[in-house]
Amino acid sequence: MPKRHWLMKCEPSAYAIDDLERDGRTCWEGVRNFQARNFMRDVMQVGDGVLFYASNTDPSGVTGLAAICRTGYPDHYAWQAGHKYFDARSNEDKPVWYMVDIEFVERFPATISLATLKQTPGLAEMMVTKKGSRLSVQPVTPAEYDIVAALGRRSRE
């Protein structure tokens, strides 16, 4: 099965690439969108590449690379009454929400901003560059992943 690639958004105030670098790996919990849930539950595989995207910040953009290190499993926070991710519809017998684990690969020295992504040849069809694209977990093509990774590595020079 071919390796897939993803863009995963997180607000830096909640969890940033620096946190992932420090921790080494983390669970990607709290996703409450069915399409994103389905990607995590049904499609993501160990070894898939991740563009780590800082959202709702200035500038928003890709801050580094990660990889899927554990496939989808029930998001147990949905079962914890009082937790910010609690969902009364979900329980151990019939989980509604899923999460994956990701591991740190690389932190870019500079954020590859959304504006840069929009202006870069080869990224015009990338979901994150489309108007109204708010999905927090989205697929990217291998070519898009490679272009963004190269931009991030080039920012070292």
- Encoded tokens for 37: 């849930």
Distance of alpha carbon 69 from the chain centroid: 13
Residue 55 has a pLDDT of: 95
Amino acid, single-letter form, for residue 121: P
**Residue 131 clears pLDDT 90, i.e. is over it:** no
| Structure confidence by residue, pLDDT tens digits, 13-40 | 999 999 999 999 999 999 999 999 999 9
| Structure confidence by residue, pLDDT tens digits, 60-110 | 999 999 999 999 999 999 998 888 888 888 888 899 999 999 999 999 999
Alpha helix positions (H), the chain: 17-23, 34-38, 114-119, 142-154
pLDDT tier at 2 (50, 70, 90 boundaries)? Answer: low
Domains of the chain as residue ranges with CATH: 5-142 (3.10.590.10)
Rg (CA), the chain: 15
Other beta carbons within 10 angstroms of residue 68's beta carbon come to 23
Residue 110 has a pLDDT of: 95
Residue 86 has a pLDDT of: 83
Place of tokens 């977990």: 137
| Structure confidence by residue, pLDDT tens digits, 104-130 | 999 999 999 999 999 999 999 999 999
